[in-house]
Chain A
């Protein structure tokens, strides 16, 4: 029982990272019907920006002297990484996706694969291909709760992710930009006719999604301790599966899907074999495509000519 609870705790914290990344996939897909393959790489760049921001703020000195990194600096690292990723997201949209936006759907798809590949390999050139240790932006404190080991890092991951998801919910439901985003995902041409600057809204969507992915990247670094330039490939794939599981285009769906994928992965690692933790996501993807392709919370849309 305690082992089960332990896996649940680990699964929820991992799952909330997937959920943060899945939100970016689902928002972009909702509007442009594009699988933004480069999203996993934006997540990677976010994590590396966090790493470099932390060392620029002198984390090595703190670590050497055994003092913990001040909280306001940790928040600054988060904000810097999110801003950098948002810029990168907008840049990708402007340079690569906008020129092919109206092309047949294969063209943007190949472009997205190209951008993803470019960032992976540019990442290896810039950040070195070797895994890098993530600085302890947060010092780990362990405590026991009903026989289950909980760390402040797991709790922070869950808390930060929850706070960001709630802010996104408010943004999408209560602000003008959010309403415009919903209008675009409903019907982009009609939205244009209603005087919405679609370019601006698409740009904001990319910025918001990328910022969330960067936050996910820092949390991932805290959780997994090492990061590599290829970390976005498998994690991005899992987050995309999370988005499909929840119903692509649905924001609550991405959150539910992310948490479920995280749980499934931890339970597989705990009860079957750690070797299959990556394979389970794929099994889930095949299963959902066979049984309920619109996802758990998605809506069926009839395709018209």
Chain B
């Protein structure tokens, strides 16, 4: 019974997204549609980054690197899969959906593996090493893509077709993935594992004393976070005909950090808010492009000094509406 209810729920959500897609594709102009898609991609990035930076308290400042790995990985796999899949399923929406989702998963896999490689040496240690290693990773991965001839070097990867990568990304797929990832991260955060992650954030030594396998959990959370950034990268790649190394500069990582800090480190609804906030503010500040990052930097400093827990802290939006709110763990810095 419970299971049937769940299946019905999932089907209902997918149908709703599908119905919304019609409305959005017919009712909104391309410009607004693009912002809506970017907001969805931002939500995936923010919710994923929040798992490691907010919930686990280990700071990554190079997530653009994982997004890049996912974008290139998905683009490459998508191009290579197109032939065999079209051969067996024929052209059409079904074949495209299969190719796109397999490509996204492949991108997530590549990003997750890079997360493991980066996380294993740096997360064994306490302290801020992850920040430095991810900063380095973000810079180095761009240098590698800049020099990878089979991925188009500095001009970027546009697939084998002269018209560029197929534009698989649409409202339905972006928001279906948003829902899947938000549910996944939410369930993880509020599971026993999630409690352990919070324990690591609050006091790593105490968590270890309670027999929490801190290193293993930190590395797992980091790899999941990297994989979600990879999904976002894959969606981003199929939105704009190609991937270029300069799409994943340090600024992109900073954008993600701003998203999770504005909403509140450790809060999923905060991250969702932050993702939308960034997509909208990016457009509003289009004319102020050269001042944008100065303002973001000041925003970060001021938030840290005045309200380090961000807008929501570690609370969730739906907790605010509960009559007797469950006691939530104290926010870091609260």
Residues of A within 8 A of B (CB): 33, 35, 96, 99-100, 103-111, 113-118, 120-122, 124-125, 233-234, 237, 240-241, 244, 275-276, 278-279, 281-282, 285-286, 289-290, 293, 303, 305
Contact = CB atoms under 8 A, between A and B. Distances in A.
Given A96-B305, A100-B308, A106 B139 contact: no
A213 B122 CA distance: 26
B294 A118 contact: yes
A105 B128 contact: yes
B125 A289 contact: yes
B132 A107 contact: no
A301 to B, nearest CB: 11
Contacts of A275: 143, 147
A234 B144 CA distance: 15
Nearest to B290: A125
B205 to A, nearest CB: 5
B250 interface: yes
Contacts of A105: 128
A285 B129 CA distance: 10
Contacts of B139: 233-234, 237, 278, 282
A99 B129 CA distance: 23
Nearest to B58: A106
30 contacts: A35-B128, A35-B132, A99-B305, A100-B305, A103-B304, A104-B332, A106-B57, A106-B59, A107-B333, A109-B59, A110-B300, A110-B304, A111-B301, A111-B304, A115-B301, A117-B293, A117-B296, A117-B297, A120-B293, A124-B290, A125-B291, A233-B139, A234-B139, A244-B129, A244-B132, A276-B143, A278-B143, A286-B121, A289-B125, A305-B206
Contacts of B332: 104, 106-107
Interface of B: 57, 59, 61, 121-122, 124-129, 131-133, 135-137, 139-140, 143-144, 147, 205-206, 250, 254, 257, 261, 265, 290-291, 293-294, 296-301, 304-305, 308, 332-333
A58 to B, nearest CB: 31
Q: Is chain A's binding surface mostly helix, strand, loop or mixed?
A: helix
B305 to A, nearest CB: 5
A108 B297 CA distance: 14
A303 B125 contact: no
A305 B304 contact: no
B122 A289 contact: yes
Given A121-B297, A279-B140, A293-B129, 6 more contacts: A107-B308, A113-B300, A117-B297, A118-B297, A118-B301, A125-B294
| Among B57, B61, B121, B304, residue most surrounded by chain A Cβ atoms (within 10 Å) | B304
A103 B136 contact: no
A282 B136 contact: yes
A285 B132 contact: yes
A285 B136 contact: yes
Closest 9 CB pairs of A and B: A114-B300, A118-B297, A117-B297, A114-B301, A121-B293, A289-B121, A282-B136, A111-B304, A121-B294
Contact of B127 (A33, A116, A276): A33
Nearest to A34: B128
A192 to B, nearest CB: 22
A96 B294 CA distance: 15
A106 B265 contact: yes
A276 B126 CA distance: 29
A113 B140 contact: no
Nearest to A238: B136
A23 B129 CA distance: 18
A130 to B, nearest CB: 13
A246 to B, nearest CB: 14
B5 to A, nearest CB: 40
A286 B133 contact: yes
Contacts of A286: 121-122, 133
